Structure 1
C-alpha cells in the first residue's frame, strides 16, 4: 500500500509538539466535522482527565460565514485513539500517512535537540544504517546553521574584548584582531565614555567612529 501524500498542514508544530486538528482529520478522512467532534467527546468521556488535557486541546476556528466554531487540537496519541474507530482500506491509508507525518516531525524535533550522541562499538546492520542516515541528516542541518551563524552581527562591549584570552575572534567570514580594537581606540583618542556609548555596536562600528575621530582631530 502506497502512502497518501497529505497536505503540508495536516500535521503542524505547536510549542515544539506535532499536532493535527479535528477539522483537518475530518477533511482528510472525508467525514463531517460534527461527527468527528462527537467521536472525540465520546473518547474523552472514557479516558482520564489528564490524558484529555494533554492530547485533546479545545480550540476555535472561523467557518465560511466568519463565525467561531469549536474544534480540537490532537497530539499523536489523541489522533491514534480517534483514528482507531475509522475503518476501511482508505481509512487505513490515511492513518498510515498521518503516522508517517507525525514520525517525520518528531524526528525533525529530535535532530534540533541538544546533541548528546554516543555510538556503541557494536551495531546491527539495520541500526548502523539508521544511525548513519540520521547523522547525514544532522550534518546537513548543522551546515545550514553554521552558514547562518557566519552572517550573525556580533555585538560586544570593550570590557568583554579586554577580558578575552584568545587574541582573535572569528566573526562571520572575517577574522578580527580584537586586541587591535583596543589599541585603535587608544591611538585615536577615543575615550572610555565614548566606548561605553558604543556598547552594543560591533567592532566595525567602533573602528568607524575611531577613524572619524582621527579625521576630526
Structure 2
C-alpha cells in the first residue's frame, strides 16, 4: 500500500509542475494575463511562439510518459502490488502505470506548484500530459490520435477541435485494433482510454461552446 501511495504522490507532484508558467516567467511574461490565460501548451504557443510553445508541449507530454514508464515502477522494500491492484503481476503493473499517469494528469490540471508559486490551482487542460500517459499505455492509438490532431488543426486551424477529435478517436482505435487485428489490452487501458477523452472534452467545454457559436480562436491568430 505504501508503494501505491508513493506512486500516486510522486506522479501528482511531477504532473503539477506548470512548465508553461515557468517558461513564460523565464521570458518575463505572466502567461495568465495573455491569450486565453490558460496555463497550457496551446496558449504558450500562441503567446510565446513556436520554440517555447513546443518545448512546453514536450515537457508536459513527458510528465505523463515518465509517470507511466518510470514512477509506476517505484516499490518500497520490495513490496508487490499484487493483491492490491490485481491477482496477476501483469494486471497489477498495468493498473499501477495507469494510476500513475492519471495522477500526473490530475496534477497538470489542478496544480499544487501553481498554487504555491503562481497563486492559482488552475493548470492546463490535460491534453499533452494525457497524450504522454496514453503513449506509455497504448502507443499505436495515441500515434493515430496525434496524426488526426495534426490533420484537423492543419485543415481548420482549431487546436481545440483537433484535441477533442484526437481524444475521441482513442477508444474507437482500441476497438478497431481489438476486433480487426486481435490486439488485446488490459482493462485499465480500456477504462482510461474512455475516461481520459471524456475528461479532455470536459476541460474543453468552454471551447466547445465557442466552436458552436463561431467565436473560437484559430491557431495563428493574434494573441
TM-score by length of 1: 0.26
TM-score by length of 2: 0.25
Relative to its length, the structure with more helix (as a share) is 2
Relative to its length, the structure with more strand (as a share) is 1
For the pair shown, the structure with the greater C-alpha radius of gyration is 1
